[in-house]
Amino acid sequence: MFMPAVKLMERFRYRSKFALIFILLILPLVILGGFLVAGLNERIDSIAQKQRGIEYIVQLRDLIESIPEHRGMTNGYLGGNSGFREKMLEKRSEIDVHFAALELLDLKLGRYLRTGDEVEQLKRRWLNLKARAFNLSAAEAFEQHTDLVSAVLALVRQVFNASGLMLDSNLDSYYLMEAVVKRFPVLVEAMGQARGIASGAVAAGKVSSKDNVSLNIMLVRIKVNHEALTDGLEQAFEFNTETRKILSEKAKLLDGAIQRFANILDKDLLDTDKITAKTEKVFKAGTEAITTVFSFIDATTPVLSNLLEKRINQNTAEKYFTLSVLGVVVVTLLYLFAGFYCSVLSTTEGLSSVIRRLTQGDLSARADLTAQDEMSEIAAGFNTMAETLEGNQQREREQIEQLRKAADIRDRVDLLLAHVKQVEEGDLSHAIELQGEDDLGQLSIHLNSMTQSLSGISVGIREVVESLNTTLAEVSSVTSNQVAAASQQASAVNEITATLAEIRQTSEQTLNKAKALGGLAQRTRDESNMGRQAVQDATESMEAIRSRVDGIAQTILTLSEKTQQIGEITAVVNEIAQQSKMLALNASLEAAKAGDAGKGFSVVAEEVKALAEQSQQSTAQVQKILHDIRQATDRAVMATEEGTKGVDIGVQKVQRTGELMQTLDGVVNETAIASKQIVEAAHQETVGIEQVNRAMGEINDAVMRFVTSTKQTEEANSHIVELADKLRNSVEVYKVR
């Protein structure tokens, strides 16, 4: 698996190898560090983009506050209160300043947030509205102001999306951003519109149907956004306790102001027949709620900025820490590689010097290395090799000296070898003649003694072999007779065993059939008991079904009576609707006669007429549905009566089946008792046969063991005879004196 890498490395010198490994190791680290730093820079840029979005939206917050206030003042002025004129002019100057500040900020941040010419369009719409405001009706002025506020909110949403505020992964800043950017503008606009509509209604002394619908819509919008805002702030506070400490009191004030304004709208305007609230009270409550919202925005914005600034600082610190660690790692690796390279180079030069001295014949050369790595093991191997070569050289010298001494005793060894060869050929009649007190002299004495001993042993073996052959012949005759008798006895035992096996097989078949009959009888008995129980359960179930069917029939009859009552009620409702329609028609005629004074009454008459027509259509649909229900209940009553009859018939059949199952149970019990008696008798017979068969098996085993032992004895005798013949032939080779 590593051969390609090995082949590649074998083509380079150490300098090239280390350079290649260093590059391959450092390059991934540099690339990884680059990716980490790029990711951190991207996160920093993303947070900075969020900061730009917050800064831009904070500037738009002034317009979101000022334009609705101008709308309320304009409505008051156009409604006849000339005191609002000076306030309108002051508010216009304030809005112009806000637009000027927004234009400057757009020049700075617009390219990042992709706002385009949205600010310029907003300013043109504001200038157009400012120029025409005194010439518009109250409704037109309110509508154009509302459209302008909607355009500002659209720009807020655009900046919100372009700055990535919605994609924040931290819950505290996410929910605070959602509150400032998403919930607060919608909440402020809803409360601003509700304040304007409610103030006009209170001034007029009544709430028109259109204002009623608008106020209900605004109230629902206020409550929904207020609830979402409260939940989001609670999530942010749970995630960041420091945020709770800073904003919790402001949140309580905000919640109270919104609740008070919503209660005034709900109780003093929508849920009352007569308006008793004062215009100042309604306007003040709405203004207080809106002001509290903007106060909370002002308190929340620095908190958001601090959170984002902290994250930028954290990511910047992380980036510099990553670069520092990467630099330290690269420098450390470079330093270690340089040290490693110098160490290897020094070791290889030392080994090269030792090898040159060894090749020149200087076996005393040794490698002296202080390193503890693999190269030191190689050096130790070279030292061991040099020591081995030096030791071998010394041993060769000693061996040469020993060979000189060995040449003197070669002739005496030849004499000994000649005697050994004679003994090997079987000639034990000669003795070796060799004088001397050294090891070879002692060896010649021992060889002569050995030759004499071998001669005596050969004579004794010959005599023993002759006697052994005679004895083995007699034993072989006796064992042959024993084998024949034992074989006849084994055949007789085998015949008896086969007969007993047939008897046992027949008995086992009888026992198995008896057991099967007993099991079948027991299962039949169990099934009979289960069948009797099932019949009893079925009878009870049929009775329960008959009771339930009766209850269903009674319920259906009650349902039929109720549908009849509903039909009568819908008929009355239909008559009322027809009368309401006629009244609406008469009211429309009277309104037409009254001219302009009766226009409002005409609208009410039209609505009453429409409601009457809807009531007629609904009652017609209800009557059709009731007709279908009555038909279905009639069919259900007939079906339940037929079901009751069927249940009665089923109960009778089930009871008849129970009687038959009782009779069957008695017959099955008698069969089971008889089958048990048969099984016990067959089992006793099988046990007796098994005992006899086991005894015959033991006899047969004993006979077979005797036959086997006898045959083994006969085979052993034959083998001993063969060995005796071989021993005799071997001894006859030797010549004795």
pLDDT digits (tens, 9 = 90+) for 626-678: 677 667 666 766 666 666 676 577 667 656 766 766 775 665 566 567 567 65
pLDDT digits (tens, 9 = 90+) for 691-736: 756 766 776 676 577 567 666 766 766 776 676 677 666 656 656 5
Angle (CA) 9-15-18 rounded to 5° is: 65
Mean pLDDT of 124-128: 93
Separation of alpha carbons 565 and 80, rounded Å? 58
DSSP character for 427?
B
Separation of alpha carbons 234 and 251, rounded Å? 10
Q: Note the pLDDT of residue 415.
A: 66
Residue 150: partners with Cβ closer than 8 Å, 6 or more residues away = 189
Residue type, 370: T
Cα–Cα separations (whole angstroms), residue 457 to 445, 447, 724, 735: 19, 15, 15, 12
Cα–Cα separations (whole angstroms), residue 43 to 312, 569, 717: 8, 69, 102
Distance of CA 208 to the CA centre of its chain: 60
pLDDT digits (tens, 9 = 90+) for 30-45: 888 788 888 888 888 8
Are the C-beta atoms of 256 and 285 separated by less than 8 Å? no
Q: Is the pLDDT of residue 98 over 80?
A: yes
pLDDT digits (tens, 9 = 90+) for 194-204: 888 887 788 77
Separation of alpha carbons 422 and 430, rounded Å? 8
Q: Note the pLDDT of residue 320.
A: 86
Tokens read off for 614? 């809807």
Report residue 688's pLDDT band, with 50, 70 and 90 as the boundaries: low
Distance of CA 66 to the CA centre of its chain: 54
Q: Note the pLDDT of residue 267.
A: 85
Mean pLDDT of 264-292: 83
Q: Note the pLDDT of residue 96.
A: 93
Q: Which segment of 71-85, 264-278, 285-299, 403-417 scores lowest on mean pLDDT?
A: 403-417
Angle, helix 138-162 to helix 118-132, in steps of 10 degrees? 170
Are the C-beta atoms of 730 and 520 separated by less than 8 Å? no
Q: Is 179 exposed, middle or buried (0-12, 13-18, 19+ CB in 10 A)?
A: buried
Give 427's strand partners: 735
Q: What is the dihedral of CA 63, 65, 70, 75, to 10 degrees?
A: 130
Secondary structure of residue 735 in the 3-state scheme: strand
Q: Is the pLDDT of residue 331 over 80?
A: yes
Look at residues 375, 355, 377, 374 and name the one whose alpha carbon lies nearest to residue 366: 355
Are the C-beta atoms of 166 and 160 separated by less than 8 Å? yes
Q: Note the pLDDT of residue 489.
A: 60
Angle (CA) 107-113-116 rounded to 5° is: 60
pLDDT digits (tens, 9 = 90+) for 69-86: 888 888 878 877 788 888
Separation of alpha carbons 24 and 11, rounded Å? 17
Asked whether the CA dihedral 315, 320, 324, 326 is positive or negative, the reply is: positive
Look at residues 447, 423, 454 and name the one whose alpha carbon lies nearest to residue 433: 447
Separation of alpha carbons 498 and 357, rounded Å? 94
Separation of alpha carbons 214 and 143, rounded Å? 13
pLDDT digits (tens, 9 = 90+) for 537-548: 756 766 776 676
Q: Note the pLDDT of residue 92.
A: 92
Separation of alpha carbons 54 and 165, rounded Å? 8
Separation of alpha carbons 558 and 553, rounded Å? 9
Residue type, 410: R
Separation of alpha carbons 95 and 88, rounded Å? 10
Q: Is the pLDDT of residue 109 over 80?
A: yes
Q: Is the pLDDT of residue 595 over 60?
A: yes
Q: Note the pLDDT of residue 245.
A: 87
Mean pLDDT of 129-134: 88
Q: Note the pLDDT of residue 81.
A: 77
Structural element, H or E, at residue 729:
helix 599-731
Separation of alpha carbons 291 and 297, rounded Å? 10
pLDDT digits (tens, 9 = 90+) for 444-485: 666 666 666 666 666 666 665 566 666 656 656 656 665 665
Mean pLDDT of 138-157: 87
User: Euclidean distance between the first and final Cα of the chain, in Å?
Assistant: 76
Residue 83: partners with Cβ closer than 8 Å, 6 or more residues away = 76
Cα–Cα separations (whole angstroms), residue 193 to 75, 145, 335: 11, 10, 73
Burial 489-503 (b: 16+ CB within 10 A, else e): bbeebeeeeeebeee
Chain mean pLDDT for the chain: 74
